[in-house]
Amino acid sequence: MGLFDIQIKKDIQTQKDEVINYLENKLTPFSKDTTISEKTLFFKGFKPKSSLLTYDLNIDIEKSKKSISLNIFGELLHVWILVILVVTGILFTYGIGVILVIVFVFYQKITATKYLNNLLDNIPKE
């Protein structure tokens, strides 16, 4: 996992089918492509409303006797654009632009993480 990638782990007290349907309905409009299997949801090109950066989300679902464990991994896409911005920030602003790029990307990570946490908090309970 990189510095700007998303990682969330959450335990939820609900039925598995409800969780899969809820996440699929809420995250599919913000994704370019969706792949759903029995234990994994994959959203390619996920971009929340308030974010400018896209992520590949991989949601692993593990069911135990009393709860469901969700492991969400989001990998930042288009890192090469950020590398170009950092290099040009070093060349043209003597390093000040690098700070702005890093702060911007970290803010986008926080925004996407808050969106996913709010989504997980609103999953209907049993």
| Prediction pTM value | 0.87
Q: What is the percentage of the chain residues whose pLDDT exceeds 90?
A: 48
The CATH code of the domain at 6-121 is: 3.30.310
- Cβ–Cβ < 8 Å for 42, 20: no
Domains in the chain: boundaries: 6-121
Q: What is the pLDDT of residues 85-124, one digit of tens each?
A: 889 988 988 888 899 999 999 999 999 999 999 999 988 7
